[in-house]
Amino acid sequence: MGEKPYVIDQMISAKSIAARIEELAREITTEFAETEKLVVVGLLRGSFVFIADLVRELPLPVEVDFVETSSYGNAMESSREVRILKDLRGDIEGRDVLVVEDIVDTGHTLAHVLTLLQSRKPRKLRTIALLDKPSRREAAIKADWTGFEIPDEFVVGYGIDYAQRNRNLPYIGKVRFTET
């Protein structure tokens, strides 16, 4: 069974994303100015483009690590069951940690990951999300920094996929399904 046909309408341009990342990096640099080394933890796979651009804007000593979770599969709706597929390689006890998420939707994934990481006793634990859909929130969670608040639309691009496609788009686009 194939995917339904769709088109992608640009919502947030590559230029707007780049400008917002510069602003966010300045705020994060201020927050972590005294850090020995900031452990930037990306939530795979959707955050990889965002994390790459963000760390290049941070004039701080950084270490990058990743956690891979699964709650969507190839579906458009979260299953609300969060599984850890890949855990951190390094120890974060007593360290400064910034968790980077592509999009906060229901909030279940970010809440699950933060509970896991908090149990490892970091010195400071903060979060940043490129996109936030507050209208979809089910878990009581909010990122410390947000790139863009968006309406309840299914989006792709800039690392975010639909069935493993469209991650390579340089912008955020809204998926609009078409009739065949």
Active site residues: 105
Structural contact between residues 11 and 34, judged by C-beta atoms closer than 8 angstroms:
no
Beta bridge partners of 97: 39, 125
**Burial of residue 172, with CB atoms counted within 10 A of its CB: 0-12 exposed, 13-18 middle, 19 or more buried:** buried
CA–CA gap between residue 154 and residue 73 (Å, rounded): 15
72: which 2 tokens?
Answer: 């969507």
